[in-house]
Chains A and B, each alone.
Chain A
């Protein structure tokens, strides 16, 4: 089974709809992240969480919100979807407990299309 899972894998929604993307991990990592990827722009950080009680905005948080329901679960919501939020969304995790190496591990991605 995959260590980092994302649901749904593909989603088409209409402008103005609220949508939630979910991420779960079995790696036991403390930190979780949400990124979006657009052609030519690379990966951009939306939100990140160092633990259940710690949520931080990334470089492009406007129009998004997150919830860290448990150490293993981190969800991303689009409150009112707009077409320029059409992108590939990735969840990632990293382990910063006890002298770790900081690399991030990514889920398989969610392809979101807003019409």
Chain B
């Protein structure tokens, strides 16, 4: 069964305190890994797609990286407006559906 596990479930950081969120997935057959941001009561907002180990994508204070077993979302010098739930999703070859993790709820304290 395809599985996507995100950790930690929740993370509280001081403003400016950098950290990383983790997304681990079943090893074989990865077609793509996706990161989303979701604010309370709103739809997930697409951030990044990663396709192969070693790939990196950046957007403002966020950088996503991919290895053969997991992905990291690095948050550098976060601001309170970065507070949200961050979702990871995986697409495998031979399966046309995304498998979502349950997310990491990030809170940045001013």
Q: Which residues of B contact A40 (CB under 8 A)?
A: 102
**At the interface, yes or no: A55 with Cβ under 8 Å from chain B?**
no
Contact A101 B49 (CB under 8 A): yes
CB within 8 A of B100: which of A42, A48, A102, A109?
A42
Contact A108 B46 (CB under 8 A): no
Interface residues on A, range: 20 to 34
Contact B91 A108 (CB under 8 A): no
Number of A-B contacts (CB under 8 A): 50
**At the interface, yes or no: A103 with Cβ under 8 Å from chain B?**
yes
Contact A104 B98 (CB under 8 A): yes
CB within 8 A of A111: which of B41, B91, B100?
B41
Q: Which residues of B contact A101 (CB under 8 A)?
A: 32, 49
- Quick one: which of B37-89 are within 8 Å of A by CB? 41-46, 49, 87, 89
Q: List 18 A-B contacts (CB under 8 A).
A: A4-B43, A41-B102, A42-B100, A42-B102, A48-B97, A101-B32, A101-B49, A102-B34, A103-B46, A104-B34, A104-B46, A106-B43, A107-B43, A108-B42, A108-B43, A109-B41, A109-B42, A109-B43
Which of B's residues lie within 8 Å of A, judged by CB? 31-32, 34, 36, 41-46, 49, 87, 89, 91, 96-98, 100-103
